[in-house]
Amino acid sequence: MVIDPMTAFLNWFTALSPDHRRRLAHIFFVCTARDTGEMLADPRSSHDRFLNYFTRPDFPLRVVARVFTVRTLFDLLLIHRKELVTNPGKWIPGYTPENMISLDTHLWNKVYTSWGALRSREMSDRILHTWASGVLTKKPSKT
């Protein structure tokens, strides 16, 4: 049975260590912030903000766009983890080597490997586009 991409992502994300979830969520917001104030928000609040962002009810196009955005940015962050770790303060405001788990450690490599597995299954292009077509063509339920 294939799980929809949103559920598969949430299962993957919540299986990560709390520190990895918090750091990925914070870097996600650094990449997507509309203003500097959002970029410099307390990293400890990023995890809950990210889950609220990803799971909040919305109209279908915005739900699909969020899933595509998350997949694309997590690709960037995990595939290019070695470039980001070279000088995290340059790429991630407020981060220094002392307060950031090195993106090239064994644990980050495990996160990258598990991301690759998810990316080749439930978040593959084929599955993601099939799911998106279903979401975008589904008739709204009457309440």
Q: Answer yes or no: pTM beyond 0.85.
A: no
Q: What's the mean pLDDT in 108-119? A: 92
For residue 53, give the nearest of 107, 6, 103 by alpha carbon: 6
Q: What φ, ψ does residue 68 adopt, rounded to 5°?
A: -65, -40
Distance CA 37, CA 122 (A): 34
- Structure tokens belonging to residue 140: 């709204």
Residues 67-110 pLDDT 10s: 999 999 999 988 887 776 666 566 666 655 444 555 546 778 88
Q: pLDDT digits over 21-64, tens only?
A: 988 898 888 888 887 776 677 777 889 999 999 999 999 999 99
**Which amino acid, one-letter code, is at 53?**
Y
CA–CA separation, 52 and 85 (whole Å): 27
